[in-house]
Structure 1
Amino acid sequence: MQPLKLPEFDYQTEGNKIFCLIRKKWVVITPEEWVRQHFINLLVAHLGYPKGLFKLEQTMAYFKNQKRSDILVLDREGQVFLLVECKAPSVKLDQKVMGQLATYNKVLDAKYLAITNGMTHFIWQKEEAGFQQIRDFPFYES
């Protein structure tokens, strides 16, 4: 898999699988999963996000459609703190990806939204007037 613009970490692989520390199981390494595992490492090892507050590939209903978010991190009260949409490094982070994230957030109502393809990352913080893009990913608020 290609190097990403995310911190390196000691991951475990076995054939075409990588061990997910959140799900505590082996999952197939797709390009998107490669990005997800690196982003999880950023959040846990570098920004203090508790592993127990993650939900990966969470199913939600949007009208009559079933959707799945890539990474959700809850706050201590069980509300959505951060919603992250991961894409493969080859996928451009465009208006379509932002629309996907916005659609998920209509259901989830996160405090922070982020998209990443492992090479480029964008994050927004919820404010009174809507979401504002911010420069740095927040440390987890305990």
Structure 2
Amino acid sequence: MQALNFPKFSFRFKNSENKVSIFDPIRKKFVILQPEEWVRQNCLQVLLQEKKYPKSLINVEKELRVNDLKKRYDIVVYNPDGSIHLIVECKAPSIPITQSTFDQIAQYNLTLNATYLMVTNGLNHYYCQMDFKAECYTFLKDIPDYI
């Protein structure tokens, strides 16, 4: 897989029927290793190992409804009270981060109301903090560590 702009982590892989799978520690199963999945698994390791978010507060690839449309978010991190702390939108490294990527995560956030947003293609990472009163967001250098 392509080298990404993340620290180096160790992963569990398996090969079956000529398809490589990677172990997802949140879903507790092997999933087929696609370029976007490679970004998602690296991002999960940043959240778990670097930022120290507990596994119990992280959810991966769940369905949500946005204006009667079924969508799937990549990663959500909850606060202990059940509110949403962070949404992460992952793209394959070959997909550039554009305004439409930000529009996509902003649309998800209309339903989820996360405090922080992260958009990454594994090479470029963007972090925002929401200001719901002013109805805007501020770009950050990084997302906060778990407290």
Q: TM-score, structure 2 length as denominator?
A: 0.93
Secondary structure of the residue aligned to 1:133 is strand
Provide the secondary structure at the position in 2 that maps to 1:59. Answer: strand
Question: Cα deviation per residue 1:81-116 (whole Å; 9 max; x = unaligned)?
Answer: 000000000000001111100110000000000100
Q: Which runs of 4+ in 1 moved over 4 A?
A: none
1:9 corresponds in structure 2 to 9
Per the alignment, residue 53 of structure 1 pairs with: 57
Give the deviation of 1:126 after TM superposition.
Answer: 1.6
Q: How many residues matched?
A: 141
Structure 2: runs of 5+ lacking an equivalent: none
Letter in 2 for 1:9: F
Question: Are 1:116 and 2:120 matched, yes or no?
Answer: yes
**Partner amino acid, structure 1, of 2:60:** L
Matched AA of 1:4: L
1:37 alignment partner, one of 41, 46, 57: 41
Q: 2: CA distance between counterparts of 1:133 and 1:95? A: 14
Normalising by structure 1, we get a TM-score of: 0.96
Q: Report the RMSD for the aligned CA atoms in angstroms.
A: 0.8
Specify the alignment match of 1:83 in structure 2: 87
Shift of 1:58: 1.6
Higher deviation after alignment, 106-115 or 54-63: 54-63
- In the alignment, the residues of structure 2 paired with residue 46 and residue 64 of structure 1 have an alpha-carbon distance, to the nearest angstrom, of 36
| Structure 1 segments unaligned to the other structure (5+ residues) | none
Residue identity (%): 40
The answer to whether structure 1 residue 133 and structure 2 residue 139 are counterparts is yes
Structure 2 CA distance, aligned partners of 1:45 and 1:94? 28
